[in-house]
């Protein structure tokens, strides 16, 4: 007698979104922790300011979700739309979170396995692009933690997502 076991998924799409949104909530708290002037002027060792890094994160997350949902990828646009205002940067962050939430359920399940060229430069299966988007945010948030500590500001606990 042949027995078939039901294949279980390690993590489902809603859990991936919750994981990503947990990281986004933490990154938002890191943005809030920055003194406004330093957010757009402070850097170490020739790295970009955290404000500039956040511009990159904004250019990836929302448009990445739209690209995955529609398979229409625009060129990566990291132009600063915050006008060096922390309040405006947080507003843009929240708008991007909404775009991510609105488009996530529209991503066809098979798109996560299909190879795409995200932003005309990253050729990967969709799930690899999602993981890259999250990893990139974590990487830049780590840089921001170094900046905050150098400025004498205690960053949010990294495990509180």
- Map out the domains of the chain with their CATH numbers: 13-41+55-150 (1.20.120.450)
Interval 109-140: pLDDT, tens: 999 999 999 998 889 999 999 999 999 999 99
Q: How far is CA 36 from CA 30, 98, 156, in A?
A: 12, 24, 16
Question: Would you give the DSSP letter of residue 124?
Answer: E
Residue 3 has pLDDT above 70, yes or no: no
Higher-confidence position of 120 and 99: 99
pLDDT at 96: 97
pLDDT at 59: 96
- Whole-angstrom distance, CA of residue 111 vs CA of residue 106: 10
- Whole-angstrom distance, CA of residue 58 vs CA of residue 18: 18
The least confident of 6-15, 85-94, 132-141 is 6-15
Q: 151, 40 in Cβ contact below 8 A?
A: no
pLDDT at 155: 96
Q: Which pLDDT band holds residue 77 (cuts at 50, 70, 90)?
A: confident
Residue 6 has pLDDT above 80, yes or no: no
pLDDT at 105: 95
pLDDT at 1: 58
């Amino acid at each position: 007698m042949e027995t078939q076991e039901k294949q279980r998924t390690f993590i489902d799409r809603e859990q991936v979104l919750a994981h990503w949104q947990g990281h986004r909530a933490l990154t938002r708290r890191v943005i809030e922790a920055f003194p406004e002037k330093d957010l757009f002027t402070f850097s170490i060792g020739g790295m970009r300011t955290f404000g500039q890094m956040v511009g990159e994160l904004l250019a990836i997350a929302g448009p990445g979700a739209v690209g995955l949902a529609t398979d229409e990828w625009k060129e990566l646009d990291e132009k600063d739309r915050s006008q060096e205002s922390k309040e405006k940067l947080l507003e843009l962050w929240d708008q991007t979170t909404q775009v991510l939430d609105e488009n996530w359920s529209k991503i066809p399940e098979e798109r996560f396995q299909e190879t795409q060229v995200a932003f005309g430069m990253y050729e990967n299966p969709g799930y690899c692009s999602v993981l890259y988007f999250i990893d990139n945010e974590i990487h830049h948030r780590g840089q921001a933690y170094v900046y905050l500590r150098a400025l004498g500001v205690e960053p949010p606990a990294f495990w509180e997502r």
